[in-house]
Amino acid sequence: MLGGKVKISKVSNKEVAKRNILVHPPEPPLSIIFGDPTNGIFIGRTKILHVPFYWSYENVTNPHIAVVGISGSGKSYFIKTFLLRASFVWNSNGLIIDWAGEYRDWVKETGGKIIALGKGSFLNILDLGGMKPYDRIKQVMRTLELLTDIANYPEQRRLTEQAIEKAYVKNKFRMDSKDQKDEIGKLLLPPTLKDVVKLLEEQASLGNYEFPAEMENAIYRLKQFTKSGEDFFAQQSSVSLDELTTSGLVDLDLSGLPDETFRALGALTILQFIKEKMRATGWAKEKGLRLIIAMDEAWKIAKEENSDAVMIVREGRKYNFGIIVASQNPTDISEAIFSNVGTTFILKVKFERFLDYLQGTLNFSNYMRNEVSKLGVGQAAVNMAFHATSQYPSTFLVDKIEGEEPSKEYFLELGSVLTLKQKRDINMAKSVSFLKEDFRRKVRQYGVTEEKIEEVSKLFEKSNRHIDVVSFVILLERYGLSRRNISDFLKDSGIDDITIINIFGKVDVKKNELGGRDITQVILEE
């Protein structure tokens, strides 16, 4: 207390207002910005006071995060940095709902897991995910209403719902029980949409239903999900929910699905199961977040007010589940989500309409608005919804999101030359990697010209930095390298002799197959 003595002097209000900086410090206090580094995620330094900012959700209304900004402003970069650090600091699991498959390589590199719906992984939307059939059916119907036109046709809706119910009953499920075992304790097998279609077709073939056109349309609608080759959601699941939520970093790659409806169906179904699991797992007194679900540009499922994303957002805090939603267009994120988000990372935003929306929702100053429109890549304004009304500003600037460096490695894939047994052997390397600079230095050493080095580097970049080793060797031969040199190069990269012999064997076979085709073209297609 200023030496215990307070001196009173006459200062006009106007004078005090000018000293604004003292009344309202430009950034929240250290206790908030720089909390416990073992219990927070380092983001970067604040712009004005250069304090390291460790994000934690202790002082905010909830752990969910929104990230907005124009294309290229750094949203995906932020998400990657955040998930990686959360896994170090809190051991958090991360699930990326990956619309376009853009996180795939990164997740692979960090040692995470890829689950590719539409490319070999299936999800039965009639799985119960721990729910009673009765509740699950309601959810499935809601999903169909969101993704198809079924809501406009009450009779078709009724027929569909009834048939789904029959399909469960036929497989011995009881509508109001979570118990999924039969009388001798064997796990019941959930029906699939194919069973539902079959039941409807049987009903139609009886010929005594009075609105055959309604029946036909109901069947037709469901069949879009059961066609062979597009029955990703109408087969028994190959994906387990535990695998998705407790395996560290997981990329749910939806890019292999044929269209937006399928992608949304996959994302929504997973969120529904996660919501149920979250409720079943119960309240958690733990340090940090148990699971972080990242949804990048998943506007279709983040827009609906009653979507399951919104429910996870509403209840997540008590279960230590967090959601990150990112979008170029903040108005695409439903208000229910926005109002339940504890932190918003505002990267560069240009459009006045979006700035209006953000300023209206988050209530920051015109000064901040102006700053936001001028931000560079990776720079951000952070808005935090603090528990208590505070004396300090709730929006402040971060100089730069200090992320992990972008990938610096190239990979030669060995998959095509390994035996099945080797492929299954977890100790067997499935690829060899090089730091980009090392790679260039090495091939230079074996006599590849600068021009060719440039060409092969570009090929790596265009192929997501992974090239099949057989194609790569054919390319080196085309550059005029002798087999002897190539062999030394491979050995030098840590590939064993037997594998090298296999590689050359495959090279001869492949060269025959190629005929006159250009190998660079083949690499790009692989």
User: Which of 95/448 has CB closer to Mg ion?
Assistant: 95
| Eight-state DSSP code of residue 395 | E
- The answer to whether residue 81 forms part of the interface with Mg ion (CB under 5 A) is no
Unique residue bearing structure tokens 């009903």: 203
Rounded CA gap, 108 and 469, in Å?
18
Helices (H), 320-468: 335-338, 352-362, 366-374, 420-424, 436-445, 450-462
User: Which of 75/452 has CB closer to Mg ion?
Assistant: 75
CB of 353 to ligand ATP, least distance (A): 17
- The answer to whether residue 73 forms part of the interface with Mg ion (CB under 5 A) is no
Q: Which of residues 361-380 bind ligand ATP (CB under 6 A)?
A: 377-378
Unique residue bearing structure tokens 């202790």: 58
- Tokens found for residue 211: 């609105």
Answer for the pair 26, 393: CB distance below 8 angstroms, yes or no.
Answer: yes
Contact region for ligand ATP (CB under 6 A) — 71-79, 279-287, 445-453, 507-515?
71-79
- The answer to whether residue 75 forms part of the interface with ligand ATP (CB under 6 A) is yes
CB of 397 to ligand ATP, least distance (A): 14
- Select from 46, 328, 463, 487 the one that contacts ligand ATP (CB under 6 A): 328
Rounded CA gap, 190 and 237, in Å?
10
Q: How many residues bind ligand ATP (CB under 6 A)?
A: 15
Q: Measured between alpha carbons, how far is residue 520 from residues 162, 211, 465 in Å?
A: 55, 59, 14
User: Which of 30/377 has CB closer to ligand ATP?
Assistant: 377
- The answer to whether residue 100 forms part of the interface with ligand ATP (CB under 6 A) is no
The contacts of residue 127 (CB under 8 Å, 6+ apart) are 136, 190, 237, 273
Contact region for ligand ATP (CB under 6 A) — 22-30, 74-82, 163-171, 511-519?
74-82
Three-state secondary structure along 71-114? CCCCHHHHHHHHHHHHHHHCCCEEEEEECCCCCHHHHHHCCCEE
Rounded CA gap, 471 and 106, in Å?
23
User: Which of 96/469 has CB closer to Mg ion?
Assistant: 96
Q: How many residues bind Mg ion (CB under 5 A)?
A: 2
- Select from 39, 48, 49, 72 the one that contacts ligand ATP (CB under 6 A): 72
Contact region for Mg ion (CB under 5 A) — 42-50, 70-78, 183-191, 429-437?
70-78
- Select from 46, 73, 76, 307 the one that contacts Mg ion (CB under 5 A): 76
- The answer to whether residue 330 forms part of the interface with ligand ATP (CB under 6 A) is no
Q: What are phi and psi of 447, to 5 degrees?
A: 95, 15
Nearest Cα neighbor of 311 from 99, 59, 64 is 64
Residue 94 binding: pick among ligand ATP, Mg ion, none (C-beta 5-8 Å cut-off by kind):
none
Residue 9 binding: pick among Mg ion, ligand ATP, none (C-beta 5-8 Å cut-off by kind):
none
Q: What are phi and psi of 210, to 5 degrees?
A: -80, -15
Answer for the pair 436, 410: CB distance below 8 angstroms, yes or no.
Answer: yes
- The answer to whether residue 386 forms part of the interface with ligand ATP (CB under 6 A) is no
Contact region for Mg ion (CB under 5 A) — 71-79, 85-93, 143-151, 407-415?
71-79
Binding site for ligand ATP (CB under 6 A): 69, 71-77, 328, 377-378, 400-401, 403, 406
Binding site for Mg ion (CB under 5 A): 75-76
